Amino acid sequence: MRHFLHDIRHRTEYCFALVIIFFLRCLPRKCMQGLARFAGNILWLIPSTRKIVLGNLRTVFPEMTESERIKIGKSSVFHSVHNVLEFFWIGGDPVRTHLCYAMPDELVAQIKEHRDRNERLIFVNPHLGSWEASGTIAPYFGKVKMAAIAKPVKNPYLNRLLNARNREKVEGLEVIFSKGAVRAALSALRRGCSIGILIDQNTRVRDGGEFVDFFGVPVPCSTAPVTLKRYCDAHDIPVQIVFGSCPRLADGRCTAHMEYLSKPFDQYADDREIVAELMQKAEEDILKYPDQYLWFYKRFQYIHPDTPEEVKKRYPDYAVVPGPSFFSKTAKGKK
């Protein structure tokens, strides 16, 4: 009976989403952006949203006034909502894709050089600008096969709508899910696909996370890009790690940019040094576009037990010191 009720609820949510998406795609672009502005303002009125956003901004920008943080925070919420609505508004349509997304000609040429050498790329992205664009632009403009790692939605019908009927409308793009993502990503790399990974997430150490500095505060980040690179090197699969993001520029389009690591992969001391450099590149982009970062994500949720007391004071109120199970699978379930 419970399964039946869950299925009814999931189907109802799915039908409601179909109506909303149909309505959204009928809107002119300006109206879609106005709707995003309205929804962003509503989201900003929710106390829990403001608390997370401003807590993060106080941690990263302690020198700013509160009014400056509020201005950045409100704009960040709007950008995040705008990205989601824009993603559904585009719906795989080529005309709308060119209207909203762009890749500079020199970057297209770079991507095609890697493709012609049969060299895969591990794109490492932060939650800045439009991360949906980050998964779309390379296969659409660069004509490379791409696998993007995404978190599945619990509702199976919405999950299919979000991925198979939206993201995978772009030729050459496939979606692999975060559960079992490393194994699926390795399979995609062997088949000649490049990989897109969002690095600035709270990955547990037991799942391959590593604490590195983010604006001077240690946070856990995924080491998956390095793990995939080491596997490929061991199996003679040509691949490079690159950092990329898609900020929204003055013309209103999310425009891709890409950077290589500062030195050859084998010259880094360890995995942590590589992840730290990637996060440093993310910091540089965030400082350029602070209002386009996803500030209402609990980025500073976990405090490493060895963090000095003066650094611990910089964390937002929601931050906690995780238990042993965060660091070790063998500790999972222990009391």
Is residue 156 classed as helix, strand or coil in its secondary structure?
Answer: helix
What are the backbone angles phi and psi of residue 262, rounded to the nearest 5°? Answer: -75, -15
The stretch 73-102 carries a mean pLDDT of 93
Count of all residues that appear for the chain in the document: 335
| pLDDT confidence bin for 335, thresholds 50/70/90 | very low
Q: Hey, what are 104's tokens?
A: 């500079």
What is the radius of gyration, based on Cα positions, of the chain?
20
Handedness of CA 24, 27, 29, 34 (dihedral sign): negative
What are the backbone angles phi and psi of residue 70, rounded to the nearest 5°? Answer: -60, -40
pLDDT in tens, 265-317: 999 999 999 999 999 999 999 999 999 999 999 999 999 999 999 999 999 99
| pLDDT confidence bin for 156, thresholds 50/70/90 | confident
How many whole angstroms separate alpha carbon 238 and alpha carbon 120? 6
pLDDT at 241: 97
How many whole angstroms separate alpha carbon 146 and alpha carbon 327? 31
pLDDT at 166: 60
Beta-bridge partner residues of 258: 244
Query: Residue 105 class from Cβ within 10 Å (0-12 exposed, 13-18 middle, 19+ buried)?
Result: exposed
Nearest to 256 by CA among 125, 153, 161: 125
Is residue 235 classed as helix, strand or coil in its secondary structure?
Answer: coil
pLDDT reading at 100 higher than 90: yes
pTM: 0.90
CA 193-270-199 angle, 5° bins:
45
How many whole angstroms separate alpha carbon 25 and alpha carbon 32? 8
Estimate to the nearest angstrom the gap between the alpha carbon of 293 and the chain centroid. 10
pLDDT at 183: 85
How many whole angstroms separate alpha carbon 54 and alpha carbon 41? 15
pLDDT at 13: 87
Judging by DSSP bridges, how do beta strands 257-260 and 194-198 pair with one another? unpaired
Is residue 221 classed as helix, strand or coil in its secondary structure?
Answer: strand
Q: Hey, what are 296's tokens?
A: 């209402």
Beta-bridge partner residues of 212: 219
Alpha helices (H) along 45-100: 47-60, 66-90, 94-100
Which of 112-116, 260-264, 271-275, 330-334 comes out lowest in average pLDDT?
330-334
- Encode burial over 2-22: b for 16+ CB neighbours within 10 A, e otherwise: eeeeeeeebeebbeebeeebe
Q: Hey, what are 52's tokens?
A: 């997370």
